Amino acid sequence: MKEKSGLKKLAPIIVIIGVIIVPLLYSFFYLDAFWDPYSHLETLPVAIVNEDKGAKINDEQRNVGQELCDKLKDSGELKFIVTDADTAKKGVEGKKYYSSITIPSDFTESIKSASTTDKKVAELKYVTNEKRNYLASQILKSAVLKIEMSVRSSVNEEIVAELSDKLKGTPDKLTTLSDGLGKLYDGSSDLKDGTSKLNNGAKDLNNGAQKLANGTSKLKTGTSTLKNGISTLSNGTGKLVTGSETLKKGTETFNSKMKEYQSGVTTATNGSKSLSDNMAKLDTGINKLLTGATQLETATKNINDLKTGAATLAAGAEQLNTGIVNYTTGVDKLVGSVTQTTQVLAAYAQKTGDKTIGGLVAQLTSKDSLASIQALTQASTSLKTASGQISAGASKLSAGTSNVTELKSAIGQIKAGLQTAKNGSGQLTTGAKTLNKGMDKLNTATGQLAAASAKISTGAGTLNGGLEQLQSGASKLYAGAGTLFNGVTTLDNGVNTLKDGTVTLSNGTSDLDEGAGKLQDGVKTAKDGVNDSITDANDQLKALDGLDQYAKEPVKVDTTAYAPVPNYGTSFAPYFMSLSLWVGGLMIFFGIYLDADKKFKLLSRESENKVLRTGAYLLIGVVQAVALAFILLVCLGLKVNHLPLFVASCILVSLVFISIIQFFLIFFKDVGKFLALLTLILQLTSCAGTFPMETVPKLFKVLYPFMPMTYSVALFKEGVSGVGSSSLAWYNGGILLAIFVIVTAVTLLLSVGKKVQENDLVEA
């Protein structure tokens, strides 16, 4: 009794908790079960039957059906299972597969027919069990549509690749080939003529190669000599660079000395002019001496006067002698300087080729210049001789004034010397004038020589730089000569090889001439064959007729629905009928059994006849089931394939649900309300009334075989859409009947036992 008292205290709490959590559980389980069923399509079993026997396509054995099976299995979109036709049929009609795809035996052969005039449409057979789960069939139809499009795409690609690429351009190519062979035939005739000429040319080439070999041998020898000569040139340019450096230094020295020489020439020019000016004075002096000597000679009669005149004459003769000596010495130096300068300039002009210096040397060595210098030299000599004579005569005169005879002799000697001096003075005057002109030219030339010397110095520097470049170029030329020699050696070897090759060529051209004749015959045969091929290709192109229409739908899926369902209403009717009958049962007991006012005493909790009460509730359930069937058939226009089975299913399901709800409420009281609602919630997500069980979470898959609605939904599907065998109806109906019998029996037994126990307690 204490235990019962504890349950009574807990019952209100349990009822409150149940009322609170039932809506939450309903939302949670329902939404969780159907949240995203499309994400689990890979678990939806679909049978694939490949009966394709295969065929040869493009000389390759193919089984397009097997290729399609492999492609579908690898895609992972559905759970494709390859099996045989009988297993697939039984599985679709039963509970193993939702649908099946059958690839016919001529599938590859039909695709192959695209390249022929007798085209066949490749056809896949699709069978789905819409009765088992209409939504699953709709999902599978969408997936099969994708498969169909994929197969069409593959077939279209196969067709276009096979036929278009091979046949479209064939006639044009063959025509081009025929034209080319025609030209080739014409060319082969020309080739035949050419090979004959080539054969003759090969012989000439062989002879030429022999001559070329001899020439390259000489060329090799010549390049060796050239290499040695360039080596000598390189050494010579080195010496020339050294010489140019010496020339550069010499011209620099000459240029510095040129200033001194120019100063000397100026001095000599001034001296020449002074000489010319003083020659008149010298001539006057000589005339005076000559007059004095004559007078002396006359005065020999007066000895005293003679002595005085002799002394004066001696003194004058001495001065004249000194002046003449100094003068002739200057003349000698001037002549020597001019001569030396002329020699230096002549050597420099010859070495450098300078035309300005050469012109100056030509002026200095001209006949007039040489004659002036020679006359000046002779006059100087005569003056020296006369000076000696005058000096000697004056001495004798001075010493021999006591001796008249000797005096006369001395005076005669002096007169003779003076006469010689006078003659020499005349020559000297003429030469001085000539020399004066030459010195003017020489002075002008020295200015030109100084300018030329500066140019020579600059030119020597430029020459030195050029010679260095020449030496560098000579070195490169020497290296190039070495490379040339190596190249000529290689050429010589190559020419020898060419010579040997021309022999082979000559032999080959003979064979070529023979082959050209065979080629001409072969080209003619090929051209005739290509023309025949063009005709065949045009005939084959007829296979392309209608290809555009065929490519639009190369594969057609023939869909057959097993136990077809026309719409979603028909599909969901078994599910909502089960839900309605369960809710109806709840409403019966909530409104009658739990009526606080006890309006129906027989049906209340206080009923004395438990068996009759149970029968009454079952009868009410039958009436409710018949009313539901009537409303669906008449008001909604539900089309059923088996009306008796449909009505019987409604009654049986209602009886089962009422028996279960009655059991919960009678024996678990307020907790039974919660259990009845919880069972409803769990059944809604675990009976496969909407989405396939393969697409829901694992928990509901575990509950699936234990839920009464699992079998009520399946039984209603057999009554509404079932065809053929009724084995599934008997199976599901049998399970429901067993549940009804067991639950009702337990309810009655427990009710009767409880009543006996209560009576015993009353009697006691």
Contact (CB, 8 A) for 576 and 717: no
User: What is the mean pLDDT of the segment spanning 745-753?
Assistant: 85
Which distant-in-sequence residues (6+ apart) come within 8 Å of 303 by Cβ? 401, 402, 404
Burial of residue 221 (number of CB atoms within 10 Å: 0-12, 13-18, 19+): exposed
**Largest Cα–Cα separation, the chain:** 238
The single residue listed with the structure tokens 């001796």 is: 403
Percent of the chain whose pLDDT exceeds 70 = 56
Long-range contacts of 350-354 (CB under 8 A, 24+ apart): 351/247, 352/456, 352/459, 354/452, 354/455, 354/456
Burial of residue 373 (number of CB atoms within 10 Å: 0-12, 13-18, 19+): buried
Residue 661 token pair: 């709800």
Which distant-in-sequence residues (6+ apart) come within 8 Å of 707 by Cβ? 679, 682, 683, 686, 687
Which pLDDT score is estimated for 500? 77
Which pLDDT score is estimated for 427? 65
Buried b (16+ CB within 10 A) or exposed e, 84-109: eeeebbebbbeeebbbbbbbbebbbb
Q: Quick one: pLDDT band at residue 31, thresholds 50, 70, 90?
A: very low
- Distance, in Å, from the CA atom of 82 to the CA atom of 79, rounded to the nearest integer, reads 10
Percent of the chain whose pLDDT exceeds 90 = 10
Does the pLDDT value for residue 144 go beyond 90? no
Which pLDDT score is estimated for 48? 93
Q: HEC profile for 327-386? A: HHHHHHHHHHHHHHHHHHHHHHHHHHCCHHHHHHHHHHCCHHHHHHHHHHHHHHHHHHHH
Which pLDDT score is estimated for 423? 74
Which distant-in-sequence residues (6+ apart) come within 8 Å of 136 by Cβ? 44, 98, 99, 128, 691, 692
Which distant-in-sequence residues (6+ apart) come within 8 Å of 475 by Cβ? 234
User: What is the mean pLDDT of the segment spanning 445-449?
Assistant: 65
CA dihedral 509, 510, 512, 513 (to 10 degrees): 120
Would you report the helix, strand and coil content of the chain in percent, each value rounded to 5?
85, 5, 10
Convert the pLDDT of each residue in 395-413 to its tens digit.
766 665 555 566 567 667 7
- Distance, in Å, from the CA atom of 230 to the CA atom of 232, rounded to the nearest integer, reads 5
Residue 582 token pair: 């369960």
Q: Which of 196, 347, 331 is nearest to 271 (CA)?
A: 331
Residue 434 token pair: 């000539």
- Over its C-alpha atoms, the chain yields an Rg (Å, rounded) of 75
Domain 42-168 has CATH 3.40.1710: yes
Domain ranges of the chain: 2-35+568-763, 42-168, 246-466
Q: Which of 124-128, 682-686, 691-695 has the lowest mean pLDDT?
A: 691-695
Q: Quick one: pLDDT band at residue 268, thresholds 50, 70, 90?
A: low
Which pLDDT score is estimated for 495? 64
Convert the pLDDT of each residue in 545-559 to its tens digit.
666 566 656 666 677
Does the pLDDT value for residue 762 go beyond 70? no
The single residue listed with the structure tokens 């045009």 is: 538
Contact (CB, 8 A) for 707 and 51: no
Does the pLDDT value for residue 156 go beyond 90? no
Which pLDDT score is estimated for 16? 46
- Distance, in Å, from the CA atom of 647 to the CA atom of 653, rounded to the nearest integer, reads 10
The single residue listed with the structure tokens 């050597």 is: 347
Identity of residue 24: L
Q: Which of 138-147, 573-582, 605-614, 691-700 has the lowest mean pLDDT?
A: 138-147
Does the pLDDT value for residue 297 go beyond 50? yes
Contact (CB, 8 A) for 186 and 486: no
Helices (H) and strands (E) in the chain, counts: 17, 7
- Model confidence, pTM: 0.44
- Distance, in Å, from the CA atom of 184 to the CA atom of 182, rounded to the nearest integer, reads 5
Which pLDDT score is estimated for 239? 72
